[in-house]
Structure 1
Amino acid sequence: MAEHKIVTIGRQFGSGGHEIGNRLATRLDIPLYDNNLVRMVAEKLDIREETAQAVDETTLNSFLAGYVIAPMEYSTYINATEYIQPLSEQVYELQCEIIRKLAERGSCVIVGRCADFVLRDNPNLINVFICADKEDRIKRIAQRYDLSERKAADRIKKIDRERKYYYESHTGLDWGSVQAHQMLLNASRLGMEKTVDILEELYKGW
């Protein structure tokens, strides 16, 4: 594992963090893991991908918070006082396990999923957080999802709040802070290409 370099990217919604991760992975010819991690978890837990997605990097509604996975043949015999691990915890723990195994397998880029925290003891971890100016984020989301600027701003606020809650509830660290991340990069000030350039140089010189 010592030879493997792992780049983890935290990001504000609409900052272009996923695109930056994708461009970087393409340049370096290494895998990118993001939504495909959710797919892996769903397959392992034998649940629908939509169900795993619902608790991935988001706050939980009351239904999902209490939703558990238990084999049908045992479910009717479970004592009411016996603890059953909620789906959210099962998804998170399995996702962490998969992230660790992927990091052992080879170099890669991982977007979100608290990967920076999961791999915090890895000496070859490059942990960055991508942010961007509010105006640029609103424009990008409005364009991508065909929304008005007002609705785009509301969506950004909601997703950022969910990502912040997900990250902080699992790590105890402040999402997007210098305490939690090795480097904060503003894609609005640097530009997408320059941001990727910086990460590529950092990766090659690590």
Structure 2
Amino acid sequence: MRTDEKFVITINREIGSGGCTIGRKLAEKLGVKFYNKTVLQKLVEHFELSPEQIDRIKARKKNWWTELSELVATGMAPGFSDKLSEVTSRDLFEKESEIIREITDAESCVIAGRSGFFILKDHPNKLSVYVHAPLEKRVARVMRKQNLSEEDARALIARIDEGRDNYTKAFTGSSRYDVHNYDLVLNTDKIDEDEAVETILALIPKTVD
């Protein structure tokens, strides 16, 4: 990767690993934008859905009709919006891919998540990073950052992990845990966020042709 040309760094991460903080600090060091919630907001505006509804669609294992049938059986159908039933996870992935490519065609940046390692796999000037941490460390961080009980933090992590796993597998054909998808894998149980940023920065000159 060269920083004297248009570039992109993708930061895929486990919730509670500090990946977003690392991405934001890295972008500041490089003088470029950090994209995380911006992509989600564009999806919200395009599909006229809430962030929670988008997460729900991404986490689906089945088609929407099966899900609706189950909701009817449990008496929950009245809360199931028409818009939510119309949008598929495929629709989300295709629009998300379009948004990300538009951003990276226009400028250098750091992007968090969004299966960026796959969507941008053919980008000529890209560095892909994966950030992870042991479960207990993730739980503690989520409890602190989101003011949750341990039980609620564990439940949130399990739900988000499952949703991201399903979404990534369905549309990339690969596991997000597969190290072959990344140029660099960082364990934030071994290094702190600032050290992680410096590790990424130190790698960049070595990737120049």
In structure 2, the CA distance between the partners of 1:9 and 1:124, relative to structure 1 (3 Å rule), is same
Q: Quick check: 1:67 aligned with 2:81? A: no
TM-score normalized with structure 1 length: 0.81
CA offsets 1:87-131 (integer angstroms, 9 cap, x no match): 322221111011111111111011111111011011211001100
Which residue is equivalent to 1:42? 44
Which residue is equivalent to 2:74? none
Aligned length: 187
Q: Does the aligned pair in 1 maintain the 2:168–2:176 contact within 8 Å?
A: yes
**Structure 2 unmatched ranges of 5 or more:** 69-79
TM-score normalized with structure 2 length: 0.80
Structure 2 CA distance, aligned partners of 1:51 and 1:144?
Answer: 19
The percent identity for this pair of structures is 28
Q: Does the aligned pair in 2 maintain the 1:11–1:176 contact within 8 Å?
A: no
Instruction: Name the amino acid aligned to 2:168.
Output: Y
Cα distance, 1:150 vs structure 2: 3.0
User: What pairs up with 1:57-96 in 2 under 5 angstroms?
Assistant: 57-59=58-60, 62-63=67-68, 67-68=85-86, 86-96=87-97
SS of equivalent to 1:109: strand
**Structure 1 unmatched ranges of 5 or more:** 69-85
Structure 2 CA distance, aligned partners of 1:50 and 1:161?
Answer: 17
Which residue is equivalent to 1:164? 165
Which residue is equivalent to 1:79? none
